[in-house]
Chains A and B, each alone.
Chain A
Amino acid sequence: MTQLDGIVKPKTKRSKRFLQSREPKLVENIKNAMLIKGGNTSQVVTQALKDIHSLKKPNAVLYKKKNITRPFEDQTSLEFFSKKSDCSLFVFGSHNKKRPNNLVFGRMFDFHVLDMFELGIENYLSLEDFKNAKFPEGTKPMLIFAGDLFDTDNEHRRLKSLLVDFFRGPTVPCVRLSGLEHVLHFTALDGKIFLRSYRVLLKKSGCRTPRIELEEIGPSFDFSLRRVHLASDDLYKKAHKQPKQLKPKKKKNISHDAFGTKYGRLHMQKQDLSKLQTRKMKGLRKRRGEVTEEEHGSPKKAKSD
């Protein structure tokens, strides 16, 4: 009933626009994130959720009430929330003796859980602990992933994809060069994942490209990867299917050879080769009343005699 299926027609233009923004599109909206608290949360977890909310503003909703669910066992209530608030990313924070300071990062496809990663917070410094000026909300951060684990291990690769999806802002065609101030640095080292957030200071260097100095600003987390729920391969592939209309149109008739030379084919009409216009050779041009071809032939014959 949430779709514009036509049976229940929206009565106002505003509600129609609201439903249209929520329906599946060729080029999708930016993903929203919902931040949920579990049955029992500690001070660390609530502060962490608030910080992530401020990183992800305005595309995030922070729910204040506690929800007694377990994401790894029962995903129906998460799916219900996601359907109601149209959020495809979520962070579920909880705290119990077995898993202290737990954050479950996850994403959805078609309002069903695709991937879930349980990250435990070992060390945490919040935004308030760093006493310096912050960015305006909505600045697109730069994301850097360091460590070969992000490339070798399958789970870490998926985690990298989820973190890129989570923290990247809206897809923009151009960006102001002086506005590149926020950088989020993820390092996979020593069995842990370190998230640090810096402000970029562009210093004068001799040439056009500036020299970078960093100043630590935002929250800093030391995560340890606990449980993981990965989507099956075929569901993962289905989620990645891009519409054909978005694929760049291939220009026909252009081919490249091994050396990189670009070849193209020209199709022409049939040509009369006798009337073909070649380079003008003034000396060979026929002149009025002058020697013709036959006359050319006869003097030779005379010579042979």
Chain B
Amino acid sequence: MAACSIEDVLAKVEKDEAEILKNITVHKELELEFDIGNLAAFDKNPADVGLFRKHKKEEFLRSLARDNTQLLINEMWKLPTERVQEAVVAKLPEPHTRLPREKPLPKPRPPTKWEEFAKLKGIPKKKKTNLVWDDVHKEWRRRWGYKRAKDDTKDWLIEVPESADPNEDQFARRLKAKNERVAKNELNRLKNIARGQKVSVQVPPKDQSKAELGKAMQLARISTASVGKFQDKLPKEKPTRTVGKKRSFQPLIGDFNMEKQRQLDLLKVMENKKPRMNVTRAVNRQMREEDAEAARHKKEGRRGGKGGKKKGRGGGGKGRGGPKSRGGPKSKKHHGK
């Protein structure tokens, strides 16, 4: 009898527990993935589309949402909790969904000239106290700024030193010295920034060949206002080969007959009523006209097929480029004919 009752008791306890857990358990085929740090849950179970269409949309979605939320809340309640000012608070783990940053990684500030020197020499940074004892006012004052410890702008009397001009305004001299110091500091600060930026932006130049470097040097030499006429030459620089139009002149006293013939021809040309025909010019013009006609025929044919501004522009461009490129081989053909 006792044994039966014990079994009954155990069975009842189990049933009760199951009942309690029934409220919060949800059956899913695939476990959900949780990202508790972001309070997010990802359900990969394929949803039953048939069921979705049969029932009303909202109810299906609501029941699905309820199930998923229950699972997420179950996970949340498993977290370690603590009491913070009469509220129960759960400690969240780090979010592990990889999300992109909004700005790139911060670059460390490039070191200043002094910082580099200090690193080289091994000079450590000295920590300064915030306040300095001011004997004049007999109190602790800040090191710099408003109401600082040793403020020499407030002096109502400056002794003229032995070496100075008695008519000089010492106050103005002090002010000018301060302005110079400020300007120098500002200049150094800007120089540090410029140096820092140059280092971070500059790309190491590709290895250039000797010829390329020579050409670059030549161009640099003639890139002055007087086209390189007054540029000094480097000690080992070779004299440049002349670049430019070559002009050759006939010797002063040469072939007399040829000179006579040339001058007579010149007079004949000047006397002529009608202009002399430039054969090459005429041939070029003729070729250009023929090419333009051919291009126009081609364009019309293509326009009938496809049509559109782009094609027309392309055709026109092709036509324009044509004679220059196709002048050579075509001319030979013409001669052949």
Interfacial residues, chain A to chain B (CB-CB below 8 A): 5-7, 23-26, 28, 31, 88, 107-110, 114, 140-148, 150-151, 160-161, 164-165, 168, 171-178, 180, 183, 185, 187, 189-190, 194, 196, 198, 200, 202, 205-214, 216, 236, 238-243
What is the chain B residue whose CB lies nearest that of A172?
A: B92
Contact A161 B99, beta carbon cutoff 8 Å: yes
What are 9 A-B contacts defined by CB distance under 8 Å? A109-B104, A140-B39, A147-B47, A171-B95, A180-B76, A196-B65, A236-B100, A240-B99, A240-B100
The contact of B189 among A6, A147, A189, A243, by CB within 8 Å, is A6
B93-106: CB near A (< 8 Å → 1, else 0) gives: 00101111111111
The distance in angstroms between the C-alpha atoms of A273 and B186, with both chains bound, is 70
Write the nearest CB–CB distance from A227 to chain B, whole angstroms.
20
Q: A residues within 8 A CB of B61?
A: 185, 187, 194, 196
Give chain A residues whose Cβ lies under 8 Å from the Cβ of B58. 216
A205 touches B23 (CB 8 A): yes
* Chain B 30-59 interface mask (CB, 8 Å, partner A; 1/0): 000001011111111111010011000110
Pairwise interchain contact B88-A176, C-beta atoms closer than 8 A: yes
Q: Check B106 against A145 for contact (C-beta < 8 Å).
A: no
Q: How many whole Å from B39's CB to the nearest CB in chain A?
A: 4
Are B64 and A110 neighbours in the complex by a CB distance under 8 Å?
no
Contact (Cβ within 8 A) B23 A142 = no
- When the two chains form their complex, are residues A147 and B19 in contact, meaning their CB atoms are under 8 A apart? no
Flag if A177 contacts B64 (CB, 8 Å). Answer: no
Chain B residue contacts of A176, Cβ below 8 A: 87-90
**Contact pick for B101, options A5, A28, A160, A190, CB 8 Å:** A28
B residues within 8 A CB of A161? 97-100
| Complex CA–CA separation, A220 to B87 (angstroms) | 32
The list of the 10 closest CB pairs from A to B, nearest first, reads: A206-B20, A88-B102, A239-B100, A24-B103, A205-B23, A185-B65, A146-B43, A143-B40, A209-B77, A24-B106
Assess the A147–B89 pair: CB atoms within 8 A.
no
B contact face: mostly helix, strand, loop, or mixed:
mixed
A209–B69 CB distance below 8 A: no
Question: In the complex, how many angstroms separate the beta carbon of A212 from the nearest chain B beta carbon?
Answer: 5
Minimum distance in angstroms from A201 CB to a CB of chain B: 10
Interchain CB contact under 8 A, A187 and B69: no
In Å, the complex CA distance between A267 and B302 comes to: 85
Distance in angstroms from B224 CB to nearest chain A CB is 31
Q: CB < 8 Å: which of B24, B82, B106 contacts A211?
A: B24
Find A212's partner among B21, B39, B41, B73 (CB 8 Å cutoff).
B73
Give the CA-CA distance A50 to B297 in the complex, in Å: 61
Residues of A within 8 A of B170 (CB): none
Chain A residues, CB < 8 A from B64: 146, 185, 187
B62 at interface, CB cutoff 8 A: yes
Instruction: List the A residue with the shortest CB-CB distance to B73.
Output: A212
Contacts of A26 in B (CB 8 A): 105-106
Name the CB-closest residue of A to B48.
A189
Provide the residues of chain A in CB contact with B97, threshold 8 Å.
161, 164
Chain B residue nearest to A179 (CB atoms) is B87
Chain A interface main SS type: mixed
Q: Do A168 and B69 have beta carbons less than 8 Å apart?
A: no
A241 touches B105 (CB 8 A): yes
Q: How far is the CB of B193 from chain A (nearest CB, A)?
A: 5
Q: How far is the CB of A235 from the nearest CB of chain B, in Å?
A: 9
Cβ-defined partner of B73 (8 Å) among A25, A151, A180: A180
Does A213 contact B66, Cβ atoms closer than 8 Å? Answer: yes
Please name the residue on chain A nearest to B197 by beta carbon. Answer: A5
A207:B20 contact, CB within 8 angstroms? yes
Interface: B216 (CB within 8 A): no
Bound CA–CA A180/B68 (angstroms): 14
Given A146-B64, A190-B49, A209-B74, residue A177 in contact with residue B81 (CB < 8 A) = yes
With A24-B104, A178-B87 already in contact, the answer to whether A144 and B72 are too (CB < 8 A) is yes
B100 to chain A, nearest CB (A): 4
State the CA gap A141–B73 with chains docked (Å).
12
Is B326 an interface residue, CB under 8 A from the partner?
no
If A31-B102, A144-B41, A148-B46 touch, whether A207 touches B21 (CB-CB below 8 Å) is: yes
For residue A88, which residue of chain B has the nearest CB?
A: B102
Partner of B52 from the list A110, A145, A190, A198 (CB cut-off 8 Å) is A190
Q: In the complex, A175 Cα to B145 Cα: how many Å? A: 44
Residues of chain A within 8 A of B73, CB atoms compared: 180, 200, 202, 209-210, 212
- Which listed residue (A7, A175, A209) contacts B89, Cβ 8 A? A175
B190 on the A face (CB < 8 A): yes
A13 CB to nearest chain B CB (Å) = 12
- Interface centre among A142, A146, A200, by most B CB within 10 Å? A146
Task: Given A174-B84, A174-B89, A207-B20, answer yes or no on A147-B103 (Cβ-Cβ < 8 Å).
Answer: no
If the complex has contacts A185-B61, A214-B62, are A148 and B44 also in contact, measured as CB distance less than 8 A? yes
Cβ A145 vs Cβ B43 within 8 A: yes
Given A114-B100, A183-B65, 5 more A-B residue pairs with CB atoms under 8 Å apart are A143-B38, A164-B97, A171-B37, A176-B87, A210-B24
**Contact indicator A144/B68 (Cβ below 8 Å):** yes
Please state if B92 and A147 are interface contacts (CB–CB under 8 Å): no
B70 (CB) vs chain A CBs: closest residue: A212
B91 interface contact, C-beta 8 A = yes
* Assembly CA distance A211 to B101 (angstroms): 37
With the chains together, A137 CA to B151 CA distance in Å? 52
Shortest C-beta distance, A87 to chain B (Å), equals: 9
Closest approach, in angstroms, between the C-beta of A239 and any C-beta of chain B? 4
Tell me the minimal C-beta distance from B233 to chain A in angstroms: 40
Residues of A within 8 A of B24 (CB): 205, 207, 209-211
Given the interface pairs A26-B106, A31-B102, A177-B77, the reply to whether A145 lies near B41 with Cβ below 8 Å is: yes
